[in-house]
Copies of this chain bind each other. A is one copy, B any other.
Amino acid sequence: MSINKEDSEKFQTLFTENLNDTALSDKQKAVLFASLTLFSQNGFDRTNTKDIALLAGVAEGTVYKQFKTKEGILKGILDPVIKTIVPKTINDFINSMVNTSYPSFEKFLYAIIKNRMTFIFDNLPQIKILLHEILTDQELLAEMTKNISESSANHFLVVLKHYQENGELVNWEPIRIIQYILAINVSYVLPTIINSHSKINLDSACLEATEFLLKGLTP
């Protein structure tokens, strides 16, 4: 199995679909998108509701129709990410992982990396906002990890153990292995998170990351 184009387009539109599910008028959606854009560009505190209204093309009052407060808009953006998008994505991925037996740890590694990177790229604005909030609100992170780990992290551990017993993966603590995989992933994406205009080649990044991690994680 490999994460194909269709998969990546699924993540990209999860946020939008999520919007479409709820019965939001066009103006309300415009408010949410404008907020997403401005929050990720300038930060929550440096975005005012007047500018949101301006960018959304609505009146200031309309900004408050759906979410009662400015912070409500923030939650309206982050809650789906924390509670739905991330867990759902992870579940989908792990399920496909369990169902598909990867021929080698290398293929497996490449798959995770591509999946993770694609997800990050597809949700850049939300991730940037999350980063901002996590720096000051520690409960956010706690809630997020809770939603992830409780859902299906155990399945992932099983797969890791499989490769360890197979002799393809060093016998380190799973958390340590995950830490390295995430770190290398993030190191490729960070420039784009910070500067939206910087572009990287996703494919070669995945290949490079896999190459290094494979060397570092093979016994």
Chain A: residues with CB nearer than 8 A to chain B? Answer: 41-43, 45-46, 128, 131-132, 134-136, 138, 141, 170, 176, 179-180, 182-184, 186-188, 194-195, 208, 212-213, 215-218
A215, B187: Cα distance in complex, Å: 18
Question: Once the chains bind, are B43 and A136 in contact (CB under 8 Å)?
Answer: yes
Question: Once the chains bind, are B138 and A128 in contact (CB under 8 Å)?
Answer: no
Given known contacts A135-B194, A213-B216, what 16 new A-B pairs fall within 8 Å (CB)? Answer: A42-B136, A43-B135, A45-B45, A45-B46, A138-B194, A141-B195, A170-B215, A176-B208, A179-B188, A183-B184, A183-B186, A183-B187, A184-B184, A186-B187, A215-B215, A216-B217
A187, B187: Cα distance in complex, Å: 10
Question: Once the chains bind, are A212 and B208 in contact (CB under 8 Å)?
Answer: no
Residues of chain B within 8 A of A176, CB atoms compared: 208
Question: Once the chains bind, are A212 and B180 in contact (CB under 8 Å)?
Answer: yes
5 A-B pairs with least C-beta separation:
A216-B216, A45-B45, A183-B187, A183-B183, A43-B136
